Amino acid sequence: MHAHYLQHVPFEGLGSIELWLEKAGYTTSCTRLFESAVFPPVDSIDLLIVMGGPMSVNDEDQFSWLAPEKQFVREMIRSGRPVLGICLGAQLIASAMGARVFKNKEKEIGWFPVEGIASDNDSAFRFPFSTRVFHWHGETFDLPAGAIHLARSRGCENQAFQIGQTVLGLQFHLETTPAFMVEIINHCRDEIIPSRYVQTVSDMLSAQPDQFRKINELMDKVLSFFS
């Protein structure tokens, strides 16, 4: 099996996903959009993971690779192959499928809970009733047509969605490790203006090992959903 991931900035890599892929027996490859927008053949990929980044999906004039990336994501979804989008990645899936991506009423940066939404669809992924996860976003999205709403938070209604049996979009970062968190803080510190849903750096860094373990285990369950 082969997993390919789309990376938008050097400091937002796979995090805990890397270990899961290794244990599950995947080979991996990467398109680093900040270097080159060259995408592999769709039929060479068994799992596509679209990572986060500080840019907006609406910045096509500034980032020439955004439109081709959306087309590639759309082709992957239409092929029926598994696609997981994280933060910007979820917004790219939404945009690729015709949904609106726009500024959220609140920025969410730091550790805040998300609430799983019960679904009558037995095939829907089920998030826990409440889980404290790591956020870093200022935009949100409308749900794509036909998507199942999976999670919300007080600061952002659309936190996660599912399309069919092969597509999941998560606004939050379950892949966060201590090293990942330090990297994003160091590179995006100017966004940290403490408010109702923006923690201070010291509060973020006070996260205990158990917090990372819990969200990484939940990410493992998300990835296993595609197995």
173 catalytic, yes or no? yes
87 catalytic, yes or no? yes
Distances (CA, A) of 108 to 49, 59, 155, 207, 209: 22, 20, 7, 16, 21
Rounded CA separation 125/149 (Å):
10
Q: Answer for the pair 172, 114: CB distance below 8 angstroms, yes or no.
A: yes
User: Measuring CA to CA, which residue among 169, 142, 137 is closest to residue 157?
Assistant: 142
Q: What is the DSSP secondary structure assignment for residue 198, as one 8-state letter?
A: B
Rounded CA separation 198/122 (Å):
35
Cβ of 184: how many Cβ atoms within 10 Å?
21
Q: What is the DSSP secondary structure assignment for residue 195, as one 8-state letter?
A: B
Rounded CA separation 158/137 (Å):
12
**Tokens matching residue 31:** 């398109």
Q: What is the DSSP secondary structure assignment for residue 206, as one 8-state letter?
A: T
Q: Check 4, 12, 87, 137 and give the catalytic one.
A: 87
The length of the chain in residues reads 227
Residues forming the active site: 87, 173, 175
